[in-house]
Structure 1
Amino acid sequence: MREQPPHLRVADALRQRIASQEWSPGDRLPSRSELGQQYGVGDNVVRRAQELLISQGFLEGRAGSGTYVAEPRERVRLVRSRAREERGGSPFQADMAGIGKRGTWESRSDAKVSAPAEIAARLGIAEGDPCVRTVYEFLADKKPVQLSTSWEPRSITAGTIVVLPEGGPHASTGVVHRMAQIGITVSHAVEEPAPRHATDEEAALLGVQRGALVTHIRRTYFSDDGRAVETADVVIPVALCELVYEVPINP
């Protein structure tokens, strides 16, 4: 029988120590060099074992602090539906409230960014045209569950009260509501989900293993006259979230 790879052997051993409650949630693990000495392996083998257990939800890494036993986390149910856009306010907050969690987010907007080629094609504008770019990190009960980078053409919102998605009197209320304030009716959205591996930056922000599987959604909102008013790249970690689509059926 083929011998088990060293990092899997170490991961199994660490998992058993967690299961036996030798370490409790919140406990800091010994350093990689200490664990390496215990199991007769190098630091890189321990690192791979820990990354595997992070992706499986047993451990969590804290930058500059070490690796800890994770608090048990259930997968968060994220529903993509027409109803979430019709409630008003933040669709994400409403989704989280529906499952008994507090939805919050951190964001950063850049008011004038040149549209790269792919974004320009999705928005139907020229490459290099100015856009407002907003980067989001969404949290459920203070735990990261989703990332998003949103782009809106400045030709649509410049000089209006909704030019910044997270500023002004209609901040944080969602694309549909904000566009309605300047006379634009958003009629539908197109979403293109695809699996891929997390980048190192995404993995660090989401608290998952480097290269962990994520669902990458390319989402674009369209007005009733067919104009693209916003497009976004949404990144959802498979290990932490259950993605559900609710499809309306007209009788």
Structure 2
Amino acid sequence: MPRATTAYRRVADTLREQIKDGTLKPGDRIGSLSELQEQFGVSDTVILEARKVLVAEGLLQPRAGDGTYVRDRPIPKRLLRNGTGPGQPPFRPEEDEGALFPEVVEEAGKVAAPAEVARRLGIKPGRKVVRLRQIFRHDGAPIQLVTTHVAKVADLRTAAPLWEDELSARPATDSEGRALEGVAGHLVTVVTRTERSESGRTLRVVETVVLADRFTVVYQQQGQN
């Protein structure tokens, strides 16, 4: 393993442990670039790489012109799987079944289907589909960013399930971070649902993005009486 790679991991591990054991507390400013270089005896590139890792993990938050601070990480709230009809929020806060308000971020009548969306829908890449992007808010704060692609087909030739959910995690893009009032690089949970209508002629891909350190997505099966 290259020494530079080992070095930035060593710095990140040390700072991470200091955050976990309380040596560095939420709201504390970590050392400047030159201070951390002197402390760890490494180059500025190593410090920048280590800091990038901890920002992506949601442990640190850079403030323009004011250094980098330890983030206050709240206990994630639970989001319960909700109805899946058009316009409905895919998830709702556990403590409040209502009071979710949609905000249209982008509405396009027809767009060329991205390759991954086309694969899920079983159509040719570039075929025109309808796209809608929404933010669902609760008490004014963004909860989830939802992007829906819809296509109509004359005849569904595969025995596709009525719906299928795929869960994944990745760093937020810049636009996702801004929409959810986080920052680019913060870990997000992504739930991608591919579904078809009973007739099999309407297909949808619904991608829901939530900040992983703020929310946990939960599926429940109600008991029978």
TM over 0.5: yes
Alignment check: 8 A CA contact 2:108 2:131 kept: yes
What is the CA deviation profile of residues 61-117 of structure 1, one whole-angstrom value per residue up to 9, with x for unaligned ones?
35676422212222232222xxx2189974367426539998776722233212245
How many residues matched? 212
| Match of residue 185 from structure 1 | none
Listed as ranges, the matches of 1:156-171 within 5 Å are none
TM-score, with structure 1 as normaliser: 0.58
Listed as ranges, the matches of 1:144-223 within 5 Å are 146-153=144-151, 190-195=163-168, 197-198=170-171, 201=174, 207=183, 209=185, 215-223=189-197
User: Which one of the candidate residues 122, 131, 135 is aligned to 2:133?
Assistant: 135
Unaligned runs of 5+ in 1: 156-187
Alignment check: 8 A CA contact 1:123 1:231 kept: yes
Q: Which structure is higher in helix share?
A: 1
Give the letter aligned to residue 168 of structure 2.
Answer: P
Distance 1:101 1:53 in 2: 34
Alignment check: 8 A CA contact 1:149 1:233 kept: yes
Residues 1:107 and 2:105 aligned together: yes
Distance 2:28 2:84 in 1: 43
> SS state of the match for residue 109, structure 2?
strand
Alignment check: 8 A CA contact 2:92 2:100 kept: no
- State the identity as a percent: 32
Listed as ranges, the matches of 1:35-74 within 5 Å are 35-62=36-63, 66-74=67-75
Give the letter aligned to residue 222 of structure 1.
Answer: R
Instruction: Tell me how far 1:219 sits from its aligned partner.
Output: 1.0
How big is the alpha-carbon RMSD for the aligned residues of Structure 1 and Structure 2? 4.6
Distance 2:92 2:73 in 1: 24
Give the letter aligned to residue 114 of structure 1.
Answer: A
Alignment check: 8 A CA contact 2:111 2:128 kept: yes
